[in-house]
Structures are given as C-alpha cells and as structure tokens.
C-alpha cells in the first residue's frame, strides 16, 4: 500500500465514521450545530443584518435603466417607446374589431352625433351560435351548460363586459400559445437555454403585476393592449413548460423510430414528435386558458375594460354580492371555454348543415334588430341588478361568526403565529444563506449551492431583509395550512375516484376565481393583521395542493399499489408505508408548487395590509419609484426560486438514488 | 348602450378627409362654427374604482360629448393614472385626492408632462371615527383624551396591550405613529392595505357591534351610512406639522383636477371646461349616496343630475 492509498483509505474511513455519527445522531446534531452557528452569528452585527451603508442600490440602477430605455433614440428619432406603441396598436386592433362586431357595433362620430355605421351581431344570434357550436362539439350536456352560462351573463347584465373580455382573450390566448410554443421549441432545440429560460418564467409568474405596472404603461400605453400583455405575461409560461416537457417525452419514446425511418430533424419534429406530444400540448392549452381568465382582473388595473373591471369596482364599493356574481361569470365562461376545446366533437351534423343553420340563426335576429331594438342590445329592464340575497347571507355569516372566529384567531396568534414570526425575524441573514448553501450542496452541487446561497445574500444586500422575512413568514404559514387542507383532500381524491371526480375539477375552476373576490369577505371575517393574509394565501394555495398531491399518488405504478394489496396491508398501512414514501418526490414538488402559489399572492395580501415586500411594492409604485417596485418584486421571485430550487433538487436527488439502486 | 368604438384606420381616414372637405366648404360659406371641436382625437378621462370618481369622470365625459368632443372614460387604477397621464394616454383626471397621492401629483407636475387644473370644488377631511355604540362604553368621547381610558375596548390579539387604530394604506402618508405618541395614547397604528380593506373592517365591526377606531374621510358614503362620530383632536396648526409632532387634526386636503400637458393646445375649450368643472359638495354627496346606499347605477345617477342641474353645468361648457 502506498502512502497515497493509505491516505485515501484513511480519509474515506474517517469520512464514513463521521457520516455514520451524524446519521446516527440524526437531525439532532445538525440542529445543534445550526443553533450554535445562529447564536454565534447573531452577535456579529453585519451578519445579523446587512449594514445599511453598504446596501447595493439595485433599485436606483433599475430606475436608470427603465428611463434610458424609454427615452432611447434608436432609429432616426424613433424611440423604443414609439416602436413598442406601434406594436401595441397592432395587438389591440383585432380585439377592438371583435368587440365592435359582437357587442358594440361599428359607429362613426361620438356623443349626440354618433351614428351607427354597422350594427353588432344581435345577442340572440350570438347565444344561438354558441349553443349550436357547443351541441355539435360536446353534445346536449355542453349545449345546456352553454345556454345556462349565456342566460346567467344576460340576466345579470354582464353580457357586454364578458364579450369585451372575450375579445381581449381572443388575442391574448393565441398570442400566449404562440409565444409559449416558440420559446418552448427553442428551449427544446437548445437545451442549454433551459436553466435560464425556466428561471425567467418563474420570475414572470411570481413577480407581482403591480411591480411592472408602470413599465407596461410606459411602453404600451393603457387600455386593451396593456391588458392583453398583462394576461400574456401570466398565461404564456405554462405553454413553454408543456412544450418542452411534451417534446422531451416524445423524443425519449420516438427518437429511435425517427432515426430508423430516416427523417430529417425537421420532419422528425413536425411529423413525429409534435403529434406524439399532443397530450402535453393540450394540457398547456388548458393551463393557458385557465390562467388567462384568472388574470383578467389585473388587466382591469391598466385600463382594459371588461368583466375584470366589474369585479374590481364592485369590491372597491364592498358590493360583495355583485363582485361574486361577476367573479362567477369569469369562472363559468372559463369552464365553458375549456370544456368546448376539450370535447372531441361528434358527427351529429354534417358540415354544410351546420353552416346553413348558423347563417340563418345569425341573420334573422340581426336583420330584425333594426325593427326590434330588444334584439340589438339586451334590454336593461330584463336584467337583475340586485344581489341583496347574497349580501344578506354574507352579513349574516359575519355576524354569527364573530365569537368563534375571534377565539380561534386569538389562540393561533398567541400560540403559533407570533412566536413563529419572532423566530424567523431573529435569524441572521448569514445563517440563512449558509443554511441554504449547505442544504443545496448536499442535495445538488457546489455551483447550485453558490447560486442559491448567493441569491439569499442578494436579498440581504438590497436592504429589504426584514420585509423578505415577513413575506416568507406569511407564505410559510399560509402554505402549511394549505397543505394541511390540500393533502388529505388530495389523498382522498386519488384513493376514491368518485370523490376525486368531484373535488379535482372544483379545485381547478376555483383557481380561476380571482383572489380579489374572497379578499373582502376574508377581511370582514378576520379583521386586520396577519391572520386574514395567511387565510387568503391558504385558500389560494390549497387548490394546487389538492391537485398535485392527487397527481403524485395517481402517477405511482399500479404494480406498487397491487403489491400492497397482495401482502395484505390495511389501506392505512398501504398509504403510510408504501405509497406516500414512493410518492415523496411528487409530494416535494407539490410543496414547491404551493410555495410558488403562496408567493404569487404576496401583492394581493398587501391590499389587506401587510408590512412585507408586497407592501413595499404598492408603496414604491405610489411614490412613482418603479425601480424599487421592480427590485422588491425580484426579491419575492428570489424567495420562490430558492424554495423551489431546494425542494426540486431534493426530489431529483431521491429520484436519482432510486434509479441507481 | 352604444359607445363610439372601433373604426378601421382607413375608414377613419376617409371620414376625416370627408369631414375636412365638408368643414372647409362650410367654413368658406359661413363663419366658423364655435361648437366644432378643435381635434376629434379621443379625449380620455381616467376613472378609478371609487364611487366619487365613477360619478365625476362620467359627468366630465358626458359634458365633453355634449360639446362635440370625442370623449371617453378609461377605467384605470388610481396609481396607474400618473404614468398614463405623463405619456399622454390620459387627457384629464377630474378627481385626485391630494391627501393620498400628493407625491405622485408633485412628481408628475415636476416632470412637466402634466398640469394641475384647480379644485373640484370642495376639500376632503380626514378624522378618527368610532361607531355610536362605542360611546356608551367610553363616555368621555368624542374628546381624544377619553381614548387612553378606553384602551381595553380596542385591543386585539395582535396589538397586545395596546389599542388598535386602523388607518389608511401606508402610502397615503398619515403620520399617525407620531400623532399617537404625541397625544400620549397607547395605541398601535395598523395600516389597512387598501381603502376597500379599511371599509370592509369598519363594515364588519359595525355589523358585529365590535368596538373599532378607524380613519374615515369626508365626503364619503361610510360616515353617512354607519352611525358614529369623529374624535376631537387639538385643532390643526402649521407648527404642529412642521415640528414633526403631528399632535393635531389633519389639515383639509385639496381635491384637484389634472391634465396632460398637451391637452391645452389640442382641445382648448375642453381644457377650459375641465378648469371650470366645480361640483357643489352637497350634489357630490347626494350622488354618491344614490349609488352606494340606494344601489343605483352611477351612469343613471349622473344622467338624472344633468337633467335637473342644467344651471350648474351650462356655464362650464360655454
């Protein structure tokens, strides 16, 4: 044995002994080390909180960049802003045209001199066309649902605003699909881009819209264009992921086939891989639509008219009933849209037949509308404007819930939330960064550890540390509650398909209900402070918790489940001993999704009243400091990247270990 | 409801061409018609989602339409108005509460891209408010000194030993932390995240007969709907604010109108109209009440007001 070999053997031996010791003493030792480390760093002021005179002025730099881009003279006096505005105008045209065609009509002049050049399609024609189209594609059930939805919109006087929103989405959804698909294709071809692109996508979805409200207005103006863009920013990312995921999976299956038949790369892509990736692409489409509908309220903030504005105005005036009715209209329309696109279609009518009927159905009410103005615009007298019943019910609930809720609230605040908050605020930034570094090193790689640990240090360097901790605290508490609710429901849905068939679609559609709607009732029930914010986050994040938990369990191989049955385990044993451990990577991804959803709620909870990054975003926008707003938004996104990164790495590590054994 | 909306560009060009010829013809035949708008480009009036602004913006737009302008209301978030006005996307904002958005107003004015157009006709007042049932439990009210004796009434789990004072969003600049300290009150200032959040809590507390101490302002529907009183603080003096102690009432706040800086040259008569646009306080309150208390449609309320108050708005448009 050479010296070198002896040394290596000795080193390995020591390391094994050391590792076994750590493992034997379990987390206790690690915890002890961490506690000593934290206690030590607490006494070093610069490690506890980043020194304020060394704060890096990212916000100032961002302001400078934004202003110089906006004022940039690039091509012969044409500023970037002129260019973006021109693009914006083009985007808005089709939406405006559709709106005129379907709801408002084409007019000339304005005010009292306004003349109708060409009337819009009668609402009755449109309703009939929708019902016929739904019948043809999805049968009587879908047609009945379509009729019900149309009636709902008409009766509650939401027809015109819904059409306006649909006209915007008619541009936003294809644009999101196109953008998402192209970027996805690009990432698929150049896999090295994946890391960067996915990081940017995470940012797009976690940075609250408020943070880039001002830049959007600067470059694209207000109204339809800005609204469409706000929707695209939120709705495009899932399409990128679906494209990359679907193509990668198809490639794994069919790459050999493509090579065997001698297809060129282009042929392989278009003729083999894309058709094989259908399922994934369809899922992307579904996600894009759901997210697009969920975002229409944000579009209302930048001047886009439509159903989102109805919700916003109603809630601002505490007209909860009206807000709920309008919010439900968004959800119903989203479901109808999604169901329509998902149903396969049936050959009940031949193609020509249906065109004939559609033409007749469109033309008759349209032609008659000059004679009967009721057919032109749905008469206001036929609408139901009062929502007193709902309002009374809400009032009643608020009154009777006072005593029980205030009791639960006091207990939770005193025993759980306040201590948790104090604990998190007491952590030095350096120990947090070090902790993330160590965890990441253990689960992934040294590079990854430097990236994630460095991102934590970056938050400290911005000087927003306390706010970031408060953000984390609210999201952490909210996520835990969401998981406590979502986990059992998800398991139940996976175990009992009958229950699942009911719960899962409900969870999906609840996500399209804009968070603003339950914000006001939550405030009325829980008052101010941390509790209403945590509850709002928990409500929003519970849906993905159910969805992803169920998916994690359902994706287990059936052989595994059968083994459990064969060895005679009780359902509980099967769940705890076999299925849950096997589904652990999926469950970690569930937690990551829940955390991301919770972070997406940060700016919404700021509207309830927080002192975290969300509040800073609102505060800096009101002070016309868009650089600071953007930086605070980036800090929120960084929290998301770090939490998501740690959990995903852990899941990958477990998967990799399983594969190797 | 039909509003002017989309016209394809070529269509608009043909029409403008047609109008230009027609206008030229009529110009040479007779004297210029005073009611002809200087520009048919759309005038945009911002409409932020609070009741007062729903009414005032709609009224301004309807008056401009009467004058022959191509005016329209654009719904937009109250904060987003400023960058939009700087870019010329919003032509006029007729209701800006300086108590809440002074910094934005000043920044926008300083950039030279927008101009103030004077008052909407009345001022805003802010006060600490409590519901009437609190008075029974705290007899010294409305004098602020009584609040110290009644701290227990206003405690919440999160404020601990202190009472809770619920105030506006932090960006509205309320100075309540020093005010509470100067007045010697053991109260913790809690900022609601938005006006809606503040009002939702007031409404819930009122329904539950729960004690609450909150900022409300005038003119506004809440103090009109919920029975209660304002706390009496020492009167406002400039020294009280300049010294940084804030141990007094808030000064009355201006409610102003603003215009995009290019508006004056483009639509001179419209600009003058908005300048003259000053609503009597009683009318503003009555319309707000119609909408928020009686649940009427804001646009219908404005139409009704215009039908009965021609004497007020006629001089503005002439």
Give the C-alpha separation, A461 to A638, whole Å: 13
Indicate yes or no: CB of B83 within 8 angstroms of CB of A309: no
Question: What token pair was written down for A74?
Answer: 């690039």
Hey, CA dihedral for A473, A592, A31, A576, is it positive or negative?
positive
Question: Which helix (H) or strand (E) element contains residue B246?
Answer: none
* Contact criterion met (CB < 8 Å) for B204 and A105: no
Average pLDDT of span A504-513: 75
CA–CA separation, A115 and A254 (whole Å): 60
Among the partner-chain residues A109, A116, A610, the one whose CB lies closest to the CB of B193 is A610
Q: Which of B50, B83, B193 sits opposite A606 (nearest CB)?
A: B193
- Choose the most confident range, by mean pLDDT, from A52-56, A112-116, A217-221, B283-287: B283-287
Residue A607: closest C-alpha in chain B: B193
Give me the pLDDT at residue B115, please.
93
Contact A54, A190 (CB under 8 A): no
Domain boundary among B211, B242, B273: B242
CATH code where residue B98 lies: 3.40.190.10
Contact call for residues A161 and A154 (beta carbons, < 8 A): no
- Chain A CB contacts of B77 under 8 Å are 213, 301-302
pLDDT tens digits, residue range A627-649?
A: 888 888 889 989 988 998 899 88
Q: How confident is the model at residue B270 (pLDDT cuts 50, 70, 90)?
A: very high
Q: Are strands B43-47 and B71-75 parallel, antiparallel or unpaired?
A: parallel
Q: What angle do CA B272, B275, B276 make, to 5 degrees?
A: 90
At A202-214, the pLDDT tens digits run 767 666 666 666 7
pLDDT of residue A345: 61
Domain of B188, CATH number, reads 3.40.190.100
In tens, the pLDDT along B198-242 reads 888 898 899 888 899 999 888 888 888 889 999 999 998 888 888
The Cβ of residue B204 has, within 10 Å, a number of other Cβ atoms equal to 25
Sole residue written with tokens 């809630």 = A315
Domain boundary residue, one of B189, B211, B242: B242
The chain A residue lying nearest B193, using CA atoms, is A609
For residue A347, the model assigns a pLDDT of 56
In DSSP terms, B131 is beta-bridged to B228
Q: Identify whether residues B107 and B87 lie together within a single domain.
A: yes
pLDDT greater than 80 at residue A30:
no
Q: Which residue of A has its CA nearest to B169?
A: A609
The residue range of the domain holding B96 is: 36-122+260-317
Q: Tell me the average pLDDT across A502-522.
A: 77
Judged by average pLDDT, the poorest of A11-20, A147-156, A321-330 is A11-20
Q: Whose CA is closest to B223, among B207, B199, B201? A: B199
Question: What ipTM does this complex have?
Answer: 0.74
Task: Test A523 with B15 for CB contact under 8 angstroms.
Answer: no
Range from A95-104, A251-260, A457-466 that averages highest in pLDDT: A457-466
Most confident of A289-303, A355-369, A449-463, A622-636: A449-463
Evaluate if residue A465 carries a pLDDT over 60.
Answer: yes
pLDDT of B57 strictly over 90: yes
Q: Do A622 and B7 touch (CB under 8 A)?
A: no
Could you tell me if B43 and B146 lie in one domain? no
Q: What is the mean pLDDT of residues A501-509?
A: 80
Averaged over A538-543, what is the pLDDT? 89
pLDDT on residue B308: 94
DSSP string, A420-443: HHHHHHTS-HHHHHHHHHHHHHHH
Domain boundary among B215, B242, B269: B242
Considering the entire predicted model, what is its pTM? 0.78
In whole angstroms, what is the distance from residue A307 CA to residue A103 CA? 13
Instruction: Say if CB A513 and CB A333 are below 8 A apart.
Output: no
Higher-pLDDT residue of A53, A161: A161
Q: Is the CB of B6 less than 8 angstroms away from the CB of A96?
A: yes
Q: Residue A23: what pLDDT?
A: 61
Of B221, B184, B230, residue with least CA distance to B298: B221
B84·A618 Cβ contact <8 A: no
- When pLDDT is cut at 50, 70 and 90, the band that residue A5 belongs to is low
Instruction: Find, among B224, B132, B226, B236, the residue nearest to B175 by Cα.
Output: B236
**Higher-pLDDT residue of B5, A399:** A399
**Closest residue in chain B to residue A392, using alpha carbons only:** B207
pLDDT in tens, A162-211: 999 999 999 999 999 999 999 999 998 888 888 788 877 876 766 666 66
Question: Residues of A numbered 310-329 whose beta carbons fall under 8 angstroms of chain B's beta carbons: which are they?
Answer: 312-313, 315-319
**Which residue is closest to B45 within chain A, CA to CA?**
A303
Cα dihedral: A364, A365, A368, A372 (round 10): 160
B68 with B85, same domain: the answer is yes
Per the CB < 8 Å rule, is A302 touching B80?
yes
Contacts of B50 in chain A (CB under 8 A): 316-317
Q: Would you say A219 and A276 are in contact if contact means Cβ atoms under 8 Å apart? A: no
**How near does any CA of chain A get to the CA of B164, in Å?**
10
What is the maximum span of chain A, computed from C-alpha positions, in angstroms?
105
Please answer yes or no on whether B87 and A218 come within 8 Å at the CB atom.
yes
Closest by Cα among A161, A154, A158, A168 to A123: A154
Residues of B in contact with A114 (CB under 8 A): 2-4
pLDDT of the residue at A6? 64
Residue pair A556/A582 in contact by the 8 Å Cβ criterion: yes
Name which of B76, B199, B292 is nearest A303 (Cβ-Cβ): B76
Q: Are B117 and B274 in contact (CB under 8 A)?
A: yes
CB contact under 8 A, A114 and B2: yes
Q: Nearest residue of A to residue B82 by CA position?
A: A624
User: Is residue B3 included in any domain, yes or no?
Assistant: no
Please tell me whether residues B136 and B91 are part of one structural domain.
no
pLDDT at B29: 38
CATH class of the domain whose range is A408-555+587-661: mainly alpha
pLDDT at A478 over 90: yes
Q: At what angle do helices A465-495 and A418-425 cross, to 10 degrees?
A: 130
Chain A CB contacts of B33 below 8 Å: none
Cα B29 from Cα A381, distance rounded (Å): 47
User: Which residues of B are less than 8 Å from A395 in CB distance?
Assistant: 207
Contacts A104 to B, Cβ<8 Å: 2-3, 5-6
Is the distance from CB of B182 to CB of B246 less than 8 angstroms? yes
Same domain, B131 and B110: no
User: Confidence band (pLDDT; 50, 70, 90) for A522?
Assistant: confident
Please report the pLDDT score of residue A171 as a whole number: 92
- Inter-chain touch B201–A530, beta carbons under 8 Å: no
> Which stretch of A121-135, A345-359, B247-261 has the lowest confidence by average pLDDT?
A345-359
* Closest to B70 (Cα-Cα) out of B46, B34, B36: B36
pLDDT of residue A383: 75
User: Which chain A residue has its CA at the smallest distance from B61's CA?
Assistant: A111
Query: Chain B residues with CB inside 8 Å of A99's CB?
Result: 5-6
Q: In angstroms, what separates the C-alpha of A60 from chain B's closest C-alpha?
A: 16
Q: Is residue B31 part of a domain?
A: no
Q: Could you tell me if B296 and B215 lie in one domain?
A: no
Q: What is the pLDDT of residue A135?
A: 84
- For the cut 60, the answer to whether the pLDDT of residue B7 exceeds it is no
Tell me whether residues A108 and B15 touch, CB distance under 8 A: yes
Mean pLDDT of A572-591: 84
Which one of A94-103, A371-380, A477-486, B23-32 scores highest in mean pLDDT?
A: A477-486
Nearest CA in chain B to A617: B171
Which of B74, B103, B199 faces A303 most closely, judged by CB atoms?
Answer: B74
Contact in structure between A165 and A349 (CB atoms under 8 Å): no
User: Cα(B166)–Cα(A527) distance, rounded to whole angstroms?
Assistant: 10
Specify the DSSP element, H or E, that contains B48. none
Q: Are A267 and A254 in contact (CB under 8 A)?
A: no
- Whether B99 shows a pLDDT value over 80: the answer reads no
Residue B1's pLDDT band (cuts 50, 70, 90): very low
Token couple for A64: 């400078």
The pLDDT tens digits for A235-250 are 888 888 888 888 888 8
Do residues B57 and B132 both lie within one domain? no
| pLDDT tens figures, A401-440 | 888 888 888 888 889 999 999 999 989 999 999 999 999 9
Contact residues on chain B for A530, CB-CB shorter than 8 A: 158
DSSP string covering A283-308, please? HHHHHHHHHHHHHHHHHHHTT--SHH
Interchain proximity B5–A104, CB inside 8 Å: yes
CA distances to A201, A235, A453, A595, B3 from A641, rounded to whole Å, are: 11, 19, 11, 10, 46
Decide if A112 touches B, using CB distance below 8 A.
yes
- Return the residue of A nearest to B164 by Cα: A528
Q: Which residue of B has its CA nearest to A114?
A: B4
On whether both B224 and B150 belong to a single domain, the answer is: yes
Percent above pLDDT 70 for chain B: 88
Q: Which residues make beta-bridge pairs with B167?
A: B191
Closest CB to B292 among A217, A317, A624:
A317
Partners of B205 on chain A (C-beta within 8 Å) are: 527
Q: Which of B6-10, B138-142, B208-212, B273-277 has the lowest mean pLDDT?
A: B6-10
Q: State the first-to-last Cα distance of chain A, in angstroms, to the nearest integer.
A: 31
- Asked if A217 lies within 8 A of B80 by C-beta distance, the reply is yes
Q: Report residue A488's pLDDT band, with 50, 70 and 90 as the boundaries.
A: very high
Minimal Cα–Cα distance from B292 to chain A, Å?
7
Check: CB of residue B260 under 8 Å from CB of residue B92. Answer: yes
B187 within some domain: yes
Say whether both B208 and B280 belong to one domain.
no
On average, the pLDDT of chain A sits at: 82
The pLDDT assigned to A652 comes to 85
Lowest mean pLDDT among A339-348, A439-448, B107-116, B188-197: A339-348
User: Is residue B128 domain-resident?
Assistant: yes
- Overall domain count for chain B: 2
Decide if pLDDT at B302 tops 90.
yes
CB-CB neighbors (< 8 A) of A217 in chain B:
80, 83-84, 87, 89
Measured CA to CA in angstroms, residue B271 lies from A138, A596, B67, B108 at distances of 55, 48, 12, 18
Q: Which residue of A has its CA nearest to B203?
A: A524
Domain boundary assignment for chain A? 408-555+587-661
pLDDT band at A349 (very low <50, low <70, confident <90, very high): low
Residue A409 and residue B157: Cβ atoms within 8 Å?
yes
DSSP string, A52-109: GGG---HHHHHHHHHHHHHH-EEETTEEHHHHHHHHHHHHHHHHHHHHIIIII-EEES
Which of B54, B82, B292 is closest, CB to CB, to A624? B82
Best of A224, A230, A471, A524 to disrupt the B interface (most B CBs within 10 Å) is: A524
pLDDT at A211: 67
Interface of A with B in 154-213 (CB under 8 A): 160, 213
């Amino acid at each position: 044995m050479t010296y070198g070999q002896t040394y290596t053997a000795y080193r390995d031996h020591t390391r094994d002994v050391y590792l076994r010791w750590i493992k034997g003493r379990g987390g206790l030792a690690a915890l002890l080390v961490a506690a000593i480390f934290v206690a030590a760093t607490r006494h070093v002021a610069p490690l506890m909180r980043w020194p304020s005179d060394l704060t890096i002025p990212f916000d100032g730099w961002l302001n400078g960049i934004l202003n110089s881009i906006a004022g940039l003279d690039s091509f012969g006096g044409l500023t970037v802003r002129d260019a973006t505005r021109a693009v914006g105008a083009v985007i808005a045209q089709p939406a405006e045209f559709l709106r005129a065609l379907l709801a408002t009509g084409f007019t000339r002049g304005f005010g009292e001199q306004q003349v109708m050049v060409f009337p819009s399609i009668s609402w009755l024609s449109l309703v009939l066309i929708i019902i016929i189209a739904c019948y043809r594609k999805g049968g009587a059930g879908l047609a009945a649902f379509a009729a019900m939805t149309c009636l709902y919109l008409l009766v509650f006087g939401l027809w015109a605003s819904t059409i306006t929103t649909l006209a915007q989405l008619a541009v936003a959804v294809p644009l999101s699909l196109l953008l998402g698909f192209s970027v996805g294709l690009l990432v698929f071809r150049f896999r090295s881009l994946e890391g960067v692109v996915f990081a940017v996508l995470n940012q797009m979805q976690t940075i609250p819209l408020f943070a880039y409200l001002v830049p959007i207005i600067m470059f694209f103006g207000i109204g339809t264009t800005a609204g469409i863009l706000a929707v695209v920013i939120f709705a495009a990312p899932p399409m990128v992921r679906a494209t990359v995921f679907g193509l990668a999976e198809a490639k794994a299956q069919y790459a050999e086939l493509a090579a065997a038949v001698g297809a060129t790369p282009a042929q392989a892509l278009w003729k083999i891989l894309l058709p094989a990736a259908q399922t994934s692409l369809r899922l992307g489409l579904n996600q894009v639509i759901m997210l697009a509908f969920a975002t229409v309220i944000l579009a209302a903030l930048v001047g886009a008219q439509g159903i989102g504005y109805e919700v916003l105005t109603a809630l601002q005036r505490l007209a909860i009933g009206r807000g709920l009715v309008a919010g439900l209209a968004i959800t119903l329309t989203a479901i109808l849209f999604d169901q329509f696109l998902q149903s396969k279609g049936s050959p009940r009518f031949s193609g020509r037949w249906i065109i004939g009927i559609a033409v007749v159905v469109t033309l008759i009410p349209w032609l008659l509308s000059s004679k009967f103005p009721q057919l032109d615009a749905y008469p206001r007298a036929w609408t139901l404007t009062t929502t007193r019943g709902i309002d009374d019910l809400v009032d009643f609930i608020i009154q009777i819930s006072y005593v029980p809720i205030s009791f639960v609230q006091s207990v939770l605040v005193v025993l759980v939330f306040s201590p948790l908050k104090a604990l998190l605020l007491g952590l030095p930034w350096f120990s947090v960064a070090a902790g993330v570094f160590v965890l990441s090193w253990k689960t992934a790689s040294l590079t990854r550890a430097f990236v994630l640990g460095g991102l934590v240090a970056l938050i400290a360097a911005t000087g927003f540390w306390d706010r970031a901790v408060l953000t984390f605290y609210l999201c952490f508490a909210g996520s835990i509650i969401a998981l406590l609710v979502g986990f059992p429901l998800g398991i139940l849905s996976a175990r009992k398909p009958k229950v699942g068939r009911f719960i899962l679609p409900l969870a999906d559609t609840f996500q399209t209900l804009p968070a603003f709607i339950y914000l006001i009732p939550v405030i009325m029930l829980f008052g101010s402070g941390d509790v209403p914010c945590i509850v709002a986050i928990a409500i929003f994040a519970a849906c993905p918790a159910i969805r992803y938990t169920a998916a994690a369990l359902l994706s287990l191989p059936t052989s595994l489940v059968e083994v459990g049955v064969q060895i005679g385990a009780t359902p509980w044993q099967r769940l705890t001993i076999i299925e849950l451990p096997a589904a652990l990577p999926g469950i970690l991804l569930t937690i990551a999704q829940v955390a991301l959803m919770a972070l997406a709620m940060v700016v919404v909870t700021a509207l309830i009243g927080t002192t975290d990054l969300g509040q800073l975003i609102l505060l800096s926008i009101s002070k016309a400091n868009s650089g600071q707003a953007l930086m605070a938004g980036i800090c929120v996104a960084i929290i998301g990247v770090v939490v998501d990164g740690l959990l995903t790495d852990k899941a990958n590590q477990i998967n990799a270990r399983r594969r190797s054994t | 409801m039909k509003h002017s909306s989309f016209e394809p560009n070529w269509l608009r060009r043909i029409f403008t061409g047609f109008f230009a010829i027609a206008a030229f013809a009529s110009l040479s035949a007779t004297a210029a018609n005073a009611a002809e708008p200087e520009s048919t480009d759309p005038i945009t009036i911002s409409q932020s989602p609070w009741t007062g602004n729903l009414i005032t913006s709609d009224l301004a737009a309807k008056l401009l339409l009467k004058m022959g302008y191509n005016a329209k209301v654009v719904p937009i978030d109250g904060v987003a108005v400023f960058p939009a006005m700087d870019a010329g996307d919003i032509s006029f904002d007729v209701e800006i509460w300086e108590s809440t958005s002074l910094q934005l107003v000043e920044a926008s004015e300083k950039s030279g891209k927008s101009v103030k157009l004077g008052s909407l006709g009345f001022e805003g007042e802010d006060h600490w408010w409590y519901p009437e049932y609190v008075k029974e439990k705290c007899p010294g009210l409305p004098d602020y000194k009584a609040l110290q004796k009644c701290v227990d009434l206003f405690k919440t789990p999160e404020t601990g030993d202190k009472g809770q004072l619920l105030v506006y969003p932090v960006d509205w600049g309320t100075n309540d932390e020093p005010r509470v300290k100067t007045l010697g009150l053991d109260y913790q200032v809690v900022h609601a995240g938005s006006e809606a959040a503040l009002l939702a809590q007031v409404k819930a507390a009122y329904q539950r007969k729960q004690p609450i101490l909150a900022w409300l302002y005038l003119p506004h529907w809440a103090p009109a709907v919920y029975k209660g009183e304002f706390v009496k603080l020492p009167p406002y003096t400039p020294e009280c604010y300049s010294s940084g102690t804030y141990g007094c009432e808030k000064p009355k706040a201006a409610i102003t109108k603003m215009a995009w800086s290019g508006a004056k040259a483009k639509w001179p008569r419209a600009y003058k109209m908005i300048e003259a646009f000053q609503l009597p306080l009683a009318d503003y309150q009555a319309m707000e009440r119609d909408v928020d208390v009686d649940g009427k449609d804001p646009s219908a309320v404005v139409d009704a007001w215009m039908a009965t108050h021609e004497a007020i708005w006629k001089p503005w448009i002439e």
